[in-house]
């Protein structure tokens, strides 16, 4: 009778315990991988939303700038002297496609900038000590010479999760190179932002708006 009780009370064997531990380990690794994937997706979504907010902010700045364009014509004084981002239209020709090409805008207001930190706050204009993460470039082209123009805005940024060290891709952009470029449009063009060779660690969003000269009463 006692011998029978010992058999019924026997525990798991060592093999069974090892198998159970193995199953739990594999399951845990799967859960950790899922959490990592969700975390990266959330971070990418946050970066995209921040870039879209920055781009929208620049749409508003460009449209505000157009309020100073009060004379119709391709070379008016109000276009040359009173606008900050549209003035380059006066130098466009048929050879340039009536377009300025991409350029880095320089806001006249100290609280505004062309580069932004991780939180989407202007860096240069406010004396923000945080390193730049997002950059904005503009491109302006005539729609109807002298009266309306299209303004393209691109916001590009260095993706989180990539070490700033050695390149792992032929089009890789190092962190130091990104910061050193200081949002220069020529450097950004060389990275292939408008082509299929977009670097794997750089993302970009585009937007466009149309502006027209603002008729004033009596003009």
How crowded is the C-beta side of 156, counted as CA atoms within 13 Å?
A: 27
Average pLDDT score over residue span 187-195: 89
> Which helix H or strand E contains 144, and what residues bound it?
strand 134-144
The H helix count followed by the E strand count for the chain is 5, 4
The answer to whether residue 92 scores a pLDDT higher than 90 is yes
Find residue 204's DSSP bridge partners.
156
Q: Is 7 helix (H, G, I), strand (E, B) or coil?
A: helix
Task: Tell me the torsion sign for CA atoms 93, 114, 67, 209.
Answer: positive
Q: How confident is the model at residue 173 (pLDDT cuts 50, 70, 90)?
A: confident
Average pLDDT score over residue span 53-80: 95
Average pLDDT score over residue span 198-211: 92
State which of 24-33, 47-56, 154-163, 196-205 shows the largest mean pLDDT. 47-56
Average pLDDT score over residue span 33-61: 83
Task: Tell me the torsion sign for CA atoms 49, 57, 118, 170.
Answer: positive
> Which helix H or strand E contains 157, and what residues bound it?
strand 148-158
Question: Is the Cβ–Cβ distance between 119 and 84 less than 8 Å?
Answer: no
**Residue the block writes with tokens 């050193």:** 180
| pLDDT above 70 as % of the chain | 79
Question: Is the Cβ–Cβ distance between 125 and 139 less than 8 Å?
Answer: no
Buried/exposed code over 117-133 (b: 16+ C-beta within 10 A; e: otherwise): beebebbbbeebeeebb
pTM: 0.79
Q: How confident is the model at residue 198 (pLDDT cuts 50, 70, 90)?
A: confident
Give the DSSP per-residue string, 189-212: HHTTTTSTT--TTEEEEEEEEEEE
State which of 28-32, 56-60, 128-132 shows the largest mean pLDDT. 56-60
Q: How confident is the model at residue 12 (pLDDT cuts 50, 70, 90)?
A: low
The span from the CA of 153 to the CA of 139, in Å, is: 7
């Amino acid at each position: 009778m006692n011998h029978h009780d010992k058999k019924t009370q026997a525990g798991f064997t060592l093999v069974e315990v090892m198998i159970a531990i193995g199953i739990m380990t594999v399951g845990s690794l799967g859960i950790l991988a899922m959490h990592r994937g969700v975390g990266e997706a959330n971070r990418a979504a946050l970066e995209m939303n921040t870039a879209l907010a920055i781009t929208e902010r620049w749409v508003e700045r460009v449209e505000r700038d157009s309020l100073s364009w009060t004379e119709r014509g391709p070379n008016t004084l109000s276009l040359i002297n009173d606008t900050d981002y549209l003035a380059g239209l006066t130098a466009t020709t048929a050879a340039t496609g009536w377009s300025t090409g991409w350029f880095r805008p320089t806001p006249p207001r100290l609280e505004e900038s062309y580069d932004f930190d991780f939180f989407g706050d202007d860096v240069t204009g406010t004396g923000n000590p945080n390193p730049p993460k997002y950059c904005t470039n503009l491109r302006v082209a005539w729609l109807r010479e002298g009266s309306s123009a299209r303004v393209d805005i691109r916001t590009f940024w260095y993706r989180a999760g990539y070490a700033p060290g050695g390149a792992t891709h032929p089009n890789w952009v190092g962190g130091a190179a990104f910061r050193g470029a200081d949002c220069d449009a020529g450097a950004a063009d060389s990275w292939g932002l408008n082509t299929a060779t977009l670097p794997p660690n750089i993302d970009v969003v585009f937007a466009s708006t149309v502006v027209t000269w603002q008729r004033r009463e009596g003009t």
